[in-house]
Amino acid sequence: MGNAASVWHRRQVLRVAGARLLDDRDRPAVRAALDSDPVAACMVAARIELAGLDPWRLGGEVWSAGSRLDGLCFSGANLVPLRGERSALRSFADRARRHGRACSSVVGRAELVLPMWDELAPHWAPAREVRADQPLMVLAGHPAVTPDPLVRPVRPDELDRYLPAAIAMFTEEVGVDPRGADGGAGYRARVAELVGAGRAFARFEGDEVVFKAEIGALSGRVGQIQGVWVHPAVRGRGLGTSGTAAVVARLAAMNRVSSLYVNAYNHVARSSYTRIGFTQIASFATILF
């Protein structure tokens, strides 16, 4: 009897300590946990609000560690640690390692990503790049500069005009061509989804995009701006500042807080965002593969 009790106790300890897969029964508790950090959790919260926790609909899994969701992590196209102490991050890393790397990046709060990467790095292939300091910036309300009146949502029939700018931005920012092995079909579909949702914005001059940005994630409280890009021929004219302000104004009209994160070394962009009214609230980190 004593041995049986000891085995049961060990199993309970492992159940609490290890990472477990959540499902829709956990949805209220997960949403409450994400609401405690709405800006940093925006990418994942937006997906869960739309699809719940069913992995097939969500396009990934949500893991927990601890008995009261002390740790949370999203695993999909990106691996996103959301909360947890070192023991929880170790549990998530163990589960990720057992599954094998399927993500293109590990991204999130730096204080979560970097310790988790310490656990994963000996087991996964070397990262292509480690971006350890990416200020996470936020703006509640309207921009402090005048929005560009010529920046507007991209129409679905303008996708072919918009796509080259999106490819150029991605290649410049991430360092790889997003079209990959499928000739660009997957990336085109992702951009088309943003355009169709009214979350891709551009300023056109003739047939050419001279400014672009997207609301990459949109939760009930926060909109995360991504993909800010200005055509090289017109840089220095302030189009990035006024164009981003136009997207902020759109989010303010939707009663959403604007957020974005930027590489610490990109002083031009950081200065622009500060002029718009953004302030830093945390630091992200991204491990790129």
pLDDT, position 67: 76
Are 203 and 243 spatial neighbours (Cβ–Cβ below 8 Å)? yes
Q: What's the whole-model pTM score?
A: 0.90
Cβ pair 138, 258 in contact under 8 A: yes
Domains, the chain, ordered by start: 2-126 (3.40.630), 139-283 (3.40.630.30)
In degrees rounded to 5, what are phi and psi of residue 55? -55, -35
To the nearest whole number, what is the mean pLDDT of the chain?
A: 93
- Render pLDDT for 31-62 as a digit per residue (tens, 0 to 9): 999 999 999 999 999 999 999 999 999 999 99
Quickly state the pLDDT bin for 17 (edges 50, 70, 90).
Answer: low
What span, in angstroms and rounded, lies between the C-alpha atoms of 196 and 179? 20
Query: What is the separation of C-alpha 105 from the centre of its chain, rounded to a whole number of angstroms?
Result: 10
- Start-to-end CA distance of the chain, whole Å, equals 50
> What are the DSSP calls for 101-113, one per residue?
---SEEEEEHHHH
Q: What angle do CA 217, 57, 178 make, to 5 degrees?
A: 50
pLDDT tens digits, one per residue of 216-231: 999 999 999 999 999 9
Q: Which tens digits make up the pLDDT trace of 57-79?
A: 999 999 999 877 889 999 999 99
Q: Is pLDDT above 60 for 260?
A: yes
Which pLDDT band, with edges at 50, 70 and 90, does 271 fall under? very high
Residue 195 CA to residue 209 CA, distance in Å, equals: 14
